Chain A
């Protein structure tokens, strides 16, 4: 239902973050940074060592993605989301540095949901496995840090009309739990 979709900018301002509710569909315009398992590990190690980060996380949105190599002439290869929960152990130090949004697929731990309430951040999900389609909303891709990590390196993406849904908001609302409540049938109960 396209009329439900709102446009938001990345990086995200505090007012927008606080106004978003789980289940809201959005189209992003602006800048994402990519990071996944190995780059998260390095970011958190830098923070623990008191060293500067290669990116200023204030207000930023991180997209959990490891794209395929771009063909000549392409901005980026296929670029769908990876599983968000693998990044759960790294979240608090990143929220402390001002991170406001993350984009990936699948549920997150209760611990991260609580952190989002505390640090006023949101998490978005987009469609896993629709990677060639998602790549069409990425207009620019530049290498920023950890180039040796290959697909796991941090890139700066410019996105336009990038579709996602608010999975968890700053009040602790949970789109995934709501979905099961609405759509789950009695006969699927474990006996």
Chain B
């Protein structure tokens, strides 16, 4: 068994939290630049330029690109021939979040109890997803998920008869209902199939793909392209001030599902897509 120190994980999480919040990914920057070429609304163009300028300031001044530095979600792929030593995996990640948010001047946005609502003051706890995979490495992805967009996410149990058309309508309706609240241009993550829990999980996982990359299955790639066209035809545009750029990308992930079901989850992500990965 290959051993990985808990402290190494803590340090990695601390660093990834800061980097995710200061440095907008090149895939998002490229998608913004592409959309700027297509955008017809002068106001929409100005918003896209401001978003790119904001990313430049974040990068150069180590400033959080969004004041909502998000709920920290850790996606861990733990090789089954690796073991974490010197502490628990959950504690190591949680400590990394606390350190990253405190040292990095990131906002503490988490309340301990959903009803009593007292701030935990260091953005802990994170949400942690662990998958055990072949190999002896630990792949760690940190997503800092803003709640303006998370709040506009939706789920539906469609019927098999509603099929592909039902899915398309539900996704477009979700984007229209969200309007300007989730800060378009968006990255729309769709989870199709599985169970109630699995659909929402794969919707979120789809956001880990490079922005604008496509599903490997041809018919799902076509669905992504159709959704992208339709979402951008809504006219919502940057910040819902009107225009052609409502989404930078639509990602769809699927999972087998029950003969009675067609679950669909739409996880909305904003242009301020904070995501960083490392391999330990």
Contacts and interface: CB of A to CB of B under 8 A. Distances in A.
B82 interface: no
B108 A150 contact: yes
Given A68-B105, A151-B109, A135 B63 contact: yes
B236 A179 contact: yes
Contacts of A105: 148, 180-181, 183, 239
Interface in B218-235: 229-231, 233-235
Interface size class of B (residues with CB under 8 A): 35 or more
Interface string B96-135: 0000000001111100000001010100000000000000
A61 to B, nearest CB: 18
B105 A69 contact: yes
A103 to B, nearest CB: 13
Contacts of B240: 106-107, 176, 179
Contacts of A175: 241
Contact of B270 (A71, A128, A132, A186): A128
A78 B65 contact: yes
Contacts of A150: 108, 119, 121
Contacts of B237: 179, 183
Contacts of B180: 105-107, 125, 128, 176
Contact of B63 (A78, A176, A180): A78
Contacts of A176: 179-180, 240-241
Interface string A115-137: 00000000001011111110110
Nearest to A152: B119
Contacts, number: 164
Contacts of A129: 51, 54, 65-66, 146, 183, 270-272
A137 B46 CA distance: 17
Interface in A129-167: 129-133, 135-136, 149-151, 165
B107 A69 contact: yes
Interface residues of A, number: 47
Contacts of A1: 42
Interface in B132-181: 146, 148, 151, 165, 169, 172-173, 176, 179-181
A71 B47 CA distance: 26
Interface stretch (A48-56, A79-87, A94-102): A79-87
Contacts of B181: 83, 85, 105-107
Given A107-B179, A176-B241, A183-B242, 10 more contacts: A77-B105, A78-B58, A131-B54, A165-B43, A176-B179, A180-B236, A180-B242, A188-B230, A190-B173, A191-B169
Interface of B: 41-43, 47, 50-51, 53-54, 57-58, 61, 63-69, 105-109, 117, 119, 121, 146, 148, 151, 165, 169, 172-173, 176, 179-183, 229-231, 233-237, 239-244, 270-272
